[in-house]
């Protein structure tokens, strides 16, 4: 298992690029979700007045 992560010496590049890609994809989804919650809160506030 250990040598799987080692990727014969090039682990930094492989896992680096996978980490960056998956981070970017997941963050896009989280930001979209965060914006949705923020929008709904804004609309709720505006409805209260």
Partner 1 sequence: MWQWFHKLSTPKYYYQWSGKWLPWLAGLTIILFAIGLYWGLLVAPTDYQQGESYRIIYIHVPAAWMSMFVYVVMACAGFVALVWKTKLSEIVVSECAVIGAVFTAIALITGMLWGKPTWGTYWTWDARLTSELILLFLYFGVIAIYSSIEDKRVAAKAASMLAIVGVVNIPIIHFSVNWWNSLHQPNMDIISDKPSMDPSMLWPLLVMAVAFKVYFGWVLFMRIRNEIISRERATKWVKELVVGR
Determine, following the binding rule CB under 8 A, whether residue 1 of this chain makes contact with partner 1: no
Q: Binding of partner 1 at residue 29 (CB under 8 A)?
A: yes
The verdict on 2 binding partner 1 (CB under 8 A) reads no
Distance CA 32, CA 6 (A): 35
Neighbouring residues of 5: CB distance < 8 A, sequence distance ≥ 6:
11, 15
> Which residues of the chain form contacts with partner 1 (CB under 8 A)?
4, 7-8, 10, 13-14, 16-18, 20-21, 24-25, 28-29, 32-33, 35-36, 39-40, 42-44, 46-47
């Amino acid at each position: 298992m250990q040598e799987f992560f080692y990727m014969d010496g090039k682990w930094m590049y492989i896992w680096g690029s996978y980490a960056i890609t998956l981070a970017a994809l997941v963050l896009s989804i989280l930001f979209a979700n965060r914006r949705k919650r923020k929008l709904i809160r804004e609309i709720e506030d505006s409805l209260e007045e």
